[in-house]
Structure 1
Amino acid sequence: MDKYDVIKAIGEGAFGKAYLAKGKSDSKQCVIKEINFAKMPIQEKEASKKEVILLAKMKHPNIVTFFSSFQENSRLFIVMEYCDGGDLMKRISRQRGVLFSEDQILSWFVQISLGLKHIHDRKILHRDIKAQNIFLSKNGMVAKLGDFGIARILNNSMELAQTCVGTPYYLSPEICQNKPYNNKSDIWSLGCVLYELCTLKHPFEGSNLHQLVLKICRARFAPVSPRFSRDLQSLIPQLFQVSPRDRPSINSILKKPFLENLIAKYLTPENSITPSHLEQDHQLLNLLGKWSKAC
């Protein structure tokens, strides 16, 4: 940590903390996640190591950028891009009931979808897509997916994961029913985020978990405002199909003409993985080998 000056603590979880910091050599702001391995169960420890590998692989303008990682004693530090616009949940709450314009909603939605496409194309599930895990930068113009803490790689595109994880408001029916799930569960959560952008509310709410689960499993939600286009209004029910098979893939979503027309605005040469990035990935794999021996 001697290469960084900590500005302030910005978050705390069961096994670690997050800090806003800046590099001593370049004064560049960053976020440093500190993960304490000492009291962490083996499963959580492995998840943290996996997050480092996943972050290093994800090089995309709509995914929070990974800078580096290092270990000191029994603590793992992950250094990431700082998004100065905060998270989407805070941005939604700042509206105080005033709806976003459709242009703004679609701008964020296309960017989030491009980030998710990058993940799904690499056979990875995010598994915790929610407004709190989407970060904004450049005056709120750029949206980025973050927090891969409970993501997992699928061995092949048909494999189904079977662990019940995620945030209750964003859980898909198949997870609520403890059924196997795949990338279509991320599509449901993406639908929840889109609905929130349109209404400033969760699509499914209940006074207790049982009531919430019932509403999710029946896919009952209030329609969005008729002020939005038919294209946008009709997309939400497609993302909320109870059967995962009936939900569109992220590629199908982005091929919809009203969204496809916007994509060119957000695609940049940065999307490709550079040789130096692959080299960084190999260094991380070597580092993980050392962690497994040390921990």
Structure 2
Amino acid sequence: MEKYEKVKKIGEGSFGKAFLVKSKEDGRQFVIKEIGISRMSNKERQESRKEVAVLANMSHPNIVQYKESFEESGCLYIVMDYCEGGDLFKKINSQKGVLFPEEQILDWLVQICLALKHVHDRKILHRDIKSQNIFLTKDGTVQLGDFGIARVLNSTVELARTCIGTPYYLSPEICENKPYNNKSDIWALGCVLYEMCTLKHAFEAGNMKNLVLKIIRGSYPPVSIHYSQDLRCLLGQLFRRNPRERPSVSSILDKPFLSRRIHKFLTPQLIAQEFSHAALHKPPKVCVAHGPPAKRPAPGPAPVSPAQKITKPAAKYGVPLTGRRPSDAVHRLSDAGKKRAERKPLAKPKQEAARKKRLELMEKERKQREQIFLLKAAQMRRFEKEKLNRINRAREQGWRNVLSSSGGSSPERKFYGGGGMMAPPPAQVPSHAPAQPANRYDHFLSALDQLAKPQEGVKGAGDVAAR
């Protein structure tokens, strides 16, 4: 640590502490993670050194760059580049409710996926993907960091069983005490994508029990239709409760609306290198559903290190689930796989094509229903506006509109100036009549009184003529 000068502490978690430091040689800023290893067993120390060796081999534009590591005073220190732009979590909170544009979200998502692809292709699980572990550089580049709890998979069928991570990003299989695999990282990626679209966590609850229930059910508020159908459909795929139904990171990047953005972040040489690497290093298989099971060592009690102890969120918080031992599940899966392989053939390309076509038709029908709903809503708004206009016009016209509908001419002309009846001279107006109407409808009311007694009106006019 004599080469570095501590500036401030920027984080603390289960892994240890993180400090912002300045190099005494060139003045550059770095982040140093301090991990206590004095209480670790020799095996755990070897695992930690192995993880550091993995970090040293990571070199990608979208992964926080490792610089060096050393052990001192019972602690392991890992030195990494410092991202001046802060993390994505702070960026989301700084929006104050203003949604990000979709172009920005897709650019960030592609960079995160490129980093995760680089990791998964090398049989490494991140295990702690969250917005706090996604950083922004000075120029806005996204970098995935904090591989302090990642482990290298020693074989393609080995699955990590450690329940790690912030509760908001736990996958259903972890809550149900099932093995952690690369598809659990995909679930966490979906949680990050949801945060970028809504500025909120996908799964929130007042207590841990309800949170676990929501995660297991896969129930979350829908994303605004302000975003494209492609983006919302991808989010639904990332949140599939069955891990096998979630897409791999390579298939996510194969989607046209994302693949056309890759060239913005990787050079052609790096693109060729990254995507040829996937062909050489196949992603680890998640289950043994078809074919014979992998070779297993002789049965016997396997020691479980403290870091690998299995926690049971669902059982711990009283969520009713059927608990099964992982070893029994592996045997049961292998036996079931043999039986299915005997009686059920693999899906044929034609069946896959038909299924894909059905999904496309369902999606098309859903879009049509959305359009019809929007059209009906617009039609209802027009109808309400017209109705309001008619009511306003009727109020303005008042009695005039009602009386003119019977004769077609204005009330004044009909009763006082036309229709064969003359208005009486002012001197012959009855003395009990008011000099001026109390309101603008009084002369209509008097006209209605004359209509009610037509014969008296005619007789009175004859008497006037005789006189």
- Range into which the TM-score falls when normalised by the shorter chain: 0.7 to 0.9
Q: Distance in 2 between matches of 1:129 and 1:13?
A: 14
- Report the equivalent of 1:124: 124
Are 2:252 and 1:253 aligned? yes
Contact 2:15 2:148 in 1 (8 A): no
Distance 1:13 1:247, change over 3 A: closer
2:65 maps to: 65
- Displacement of 1:182: 1.4
Give the aligned partner of residue 341 of structure 2. none
- Partners of 1:161 and 1:16 lie apart in 2 by 21
Does the 8 A contact of 1:59 with 1:270 survive in 2?
Answer: no
Distance 1:202 1:68, change over 3 A: same
What residue in structure 1 maps to residue 226 of structure 2?
227
Q: CA deviation at 1:206?
A: 1.2
The residue number in structure 2 matching 1:213 is 212
What does residue 97 of structure 2 align with?
97
1:20 aligned partner: 20
SS at match of 1:144: strand
- CA deviations 1:182-221 (Å, max 9, x no partner) are 1011000000000000000111111111111111111111
Give the match for residue 279 of structure 1. none
Q: Distance in 2 between matches of 1:230 and 1:14?
A: 39
CA distance in 1: counterparts of 2:39 and 2:185, whole angstroms: 31
Aligned to 1:32: 32
Tell me how far 1:50 sits from its aligned partner: 3.6
Counterparts in 2 of 1:37-48, with a 5 A limit? Answer: 37-40=37-40, 45=45, 48=48
Indicate if the aligned counterparts of 2:51 and 2:152 stay in contact, CA closer than 8 A: no
2:242 maps to what in 1? 243
Work out whether 1:8 is the aligned partner of 2:8: yes
Residues 1:13 and 1:233: Cα distance change in structure 2 (over 3 Å): closer
Q: Which runs of 5+ in 2 are unaligned?
A: 275-467
CA 1:62–1:213 in structure 2 vs 1: closer, same or farther (change >3 Å)?
same
Query: Could you tell which deviates more after superposition, 50-59 or 249-258?
Result: 50-59
C-alpha RMSD over aligned residues: 1.9
Q: Which has the larger radius of gyration?
A: 2
Measure how far apart 1:20 and its partner are.
1.1
Measure, in 1, the Cα distance between the counterparts of 2:149 and 2:113.
19
Residues in 2 aligned to 1:74 and 1:7: alpha-carbon distance in whole angstroms: 22
Equivalent pair of 1:125/1:151 in contact (CA under 8 Å): yes
Q: Distance in 1 between matches of 2:245 and 2:151?
A: 23
The structure that is strand-richer by fraction is 1
| Correspondence for 1:288 | none
Amino acid aligned to 2:203? F
**Alignment partner, residue 198 of structure 1:** 197
Distance 1:35 1:160, change over 3 A: closer
Between 62-71 and 17-26, the greater mean CA deviation after superposition? 17-26
Q: Give the structure 2 partner of residue 55 of structure 1.
A: 55
Report the more deviating stretch, 263-272 or 213-222.
263-272
Cα distance in 2 for residues equivalent to 1:43 and 1:163: 17
Residue identity opposite 1:126 in structure 2? H
1:264 match: secondary structure: helix
> Higher RCO, 1 or 2 (CA under 8 Å, sep at least 6)?
1
The SS at the match of 2:33 is: strand
TM-superposed CA distance for 1:83, in Å, is: 0.4
Residue identity over aligned pairs, in percent, reads 62
Distance 2:196 2:259 in 1: 19
Q: Distance in 1 between matches of 2:57 and 2:40?
A: 25
Distance 1:209 1:169 in 2: 10
Q: CA deviation at 1:15?
A: 6.2
Relative to structure 1, the CA distance from residue 56 to residue 247 in structure 2 (aligned partners, 3 Å threshold; closer, same or farther) is same
Per-residue deviation, 1:40: 4.9
Q: Is the 8 A contact 1:86 1:137 kept in 2?
A: yes
- 1:223 Cα offset (Å): 0.9
Q: Show the counterpart of 2:112.
A: 112
Q: TM (normalized to structure 2)?
A: 0.56
State the alpha-carbon separation in 2 of the partners of residues 27 and 253 from structure 1.
40
Aligned partners of 1:99, 1:44: CA distance in 2, in Å? 44
- Distance change (3 Å), C-alpha of 1:251 and 1:178: same
Q: Separation in 1 of the partners of 2:193 and 2:22?
A: 33
CA distance in 1, matches of 2:165, 2:203: 15
Rounded to whole Å, the distance in 1 between the matches of 2:263 and 2:137 is 19
Instruction: Report what 1:286 is aligned to.
Output: none
The one-letter code of the counterpart of 1:240 is F
Question: Partners in 1 of 2:245 and 2:13 — Cα distance?
Answer: 36
Match of 2:143 in 1: 144
Shift of 1:3: 1.4
Amino acid at match of 1:149: G
Please give the alpha-carbon distance, in whole angstroms, between the structure 1 residues aligned to 2:21 and 2:48: 20
**Change in CA separation of 1:204 and 1:46 when aligned onto 2, cut-off 3 Å:** farther
Aligned equivalents of 1:12, 1:181: Cα separation in 2:
24
TM-score, scaled relative to structure 1: 0.87
Relative distance call for 1:71 and 1:90 in structure 2 (3 A) is same
CA distance in 1, matches of 2:133, 2:46: 21
Give the drift of 1:47: 5.2
Q: Which amino acid aligns with 2:29?
A: Q
Q: Is the 8 A contact 2:84 2:137 kept in 1?
A: yes
CA contact (8 A) 2:30 2:80 kept: yes
Q: Equivalent residue for 1:88? A: 88
The answer for the alignment partner of 2:451 in structure 1 is none
Change (3 A) 1:136 1:216: same
What residue is the counterpart of 1:169 in the other structure?
A: 168
C-alpha separation in 2, matches of 1:205 and 1:46: 37
